[in-house]
Amino acid sequence: MKTSTLLLAGLIGSLPLAGCFGNSSEEPESGTIDGMTVNNKESSFSGRLTAKDETVVVDAVTGLPKSAGPDKTLTLTLVAEIAPPVVAGKTLSATGVVLKANFAYVSYSYRGDTVLGGVESIHLKSGKNAVLRSQVLFDDAEVSAIAYSGGEPEGAQHVYLATTTTDSNFTAPAVVERVRVNGGKFVLQSRVRTALNSSWATSVAVDEDRVFVTTGDSGGLHVLSRLSLAGQGAHLAGNARWVDFDDTRVVIAQGMPGRLVVYDKAGLGATNTWSFTGADIAGGKTTVRVVGGKALVAAGSGGVLLMNLANGKVVGRASVPVVSGLTLAATVANSADARKDLVFVSNDEAGIYAYRASANLDSITGNDTISLASLGKLRFGTLQAASHLAFDGNTLVVASGTGGVKIISVKWE
């Protein structure tokens, strides 16, 4: 197992080791424990966040069906851009984001001659500005995805991380890890991790009692206790890429070929498996969001689709954009999120696209056809691959790989 020397060398200024930094009402403890470095010195992040307050132009897209209704206007404002962490000259990639209240939590990874990863906390202030509050860096793990949970244990908040580790103490690389959060600051304490007996972890979701994690290759869906991270069972499902749930179902997306597996949430018995076109690129990301009895699926080369989870019928779809100079593999849909009738999709190097659904996606719509009309492509200054996004109705946060993070205020009225 590698030591934490590499991480400490990459931080701005030196951090004291655990036990050498006194608790402070103004600044929580920073330091290193077992390859995990917590940095709560906000001054050390100076220069990485750039406040913007710039209108994001939405360009019409040739070849995609356009929204005909003039009754609503999409107004986007770029609030801030955040450069990714650089550790010992190695630039980490933003891989995932989760929004909770007025915070965004972003995961990072680096895979090359070494494995690195991390997570950062960003305070979103009324959609007008942002502050980078806290950071965790790992010198033995990359982080693929992130989820947030409040409440117990100990009345605390936590982020849960789907990671791949080089720690030789684990028999397989896939690991789920929990990091405590207090007021948007990460808490320095002993690491809490559980092995998943697979090659890599791809996504994580958390409900009131359980943690759900997907793993790739011959892995599947893993279920753990939220309180202890003790394993409660595993369900084989090869090339499992993403997991989400609602009140009655847990749904995972699989790749190569594209499938959704629907589990009864109470007993976690598989009730249905539905096939879809797409998710056919090795190592690709295929997110699924369960909303209004439907699955919103970023289906890779199959574009973005809406599926009725009761019977597997695809009730809506938007194809991937055709972009001059980019191959199909560079324009695949890898992430999608929505609130009501507004949908955002990340199409890898092709960027971020906005769609208007013909129905409120939060509502149960059965087999009714739902059109996804293009509102256009979000125009940013440089071409950057978008690996994941999250949208809560007011704020859109984009994880753009080595391009870092973009925070966008959204008005749709």
Model confidence pLDDT, tens digit, residues 133-185 = 999 999 999 999 999 998 765 667 999 999 999 999 999 999 999 999 999 99
Given pLDDT bands bounded at 50, 70 and 90, which one contains residue 201? very high
Average pLDDT, rounded, for the chain: 91
- Answer yes or no: are the C-beta atoms of 137 and 4 closer than 8 Å: no
- pLDDT > 80? residue 23: no
- The pLDDT-based confidence of 19 (bands split at 50, 70, 90) is very low
Q: How far apart are CA 9 and CA 4, in angstroms?
A: 9
Q: Which residues of 326-346 are buried (b: 16+ CB within 10 A; e: fewer)?
A: beeeebbbbbbbbbbbbbbbb
Is pLDDT of 330 > 70? yes
> Rounded to whole angstroms, how far apart are CA atoms 164 and 365?
38
pLDDT above 60 for 76: yes
Whether 31 contacts 19, CB under 8 Å: yes
Q: What is the pLDDT of residue 62?
A: 77
What is the structure's pLDDT at 68?
A: 58
Q: Which residue has the higher pLDDT, 9 or 42?
A: 42
Q: Which domains does the chain have, with CATH numbers?
A: 50-82+247-262+279-413 (2.40.128.630)
Instruction: Say whether pLDDT at 10 is over 50.
Output: no
pLDDT of residue 70: 63
pLDDT winner (highest mean) among 24-28, 306-310, 376-380: 306-310
- pLDDT surpasses 90 at 73: yes
Considering only CA atoms, which of 272, 289, 320, 241 is closest in space to residue 63? 320
What are the tens digits of pLDDT across the range 257-303? 999 999 999 999 999 999 999 999 999 999 999 999 999 999 999 99
Positive or negative: CA dihedral 55, 59, 65, 70: positive
Q: Could you write out the three-class secondary structure of 260-283?
A: EEEEECCCCCEEEEEECCCCCCCC
- Band (pLDDT 50/70/90 cuts) for residue 111 is confident
Is residue 398 within 8 Å of 46, Cβ to Cβ?
Answer: no
Which residues contact residue 368 at a Cβ distance below 8 angstroms, ignoring those fewer than 6 apart?
A: 315, 359
Q: Containing H/E element for 209? A: none
Q: What is the mean pLDDT of residues 178-199?
A: 95
Confidence of residue 128 (pLDDT cuts 50, 70, 90): confident
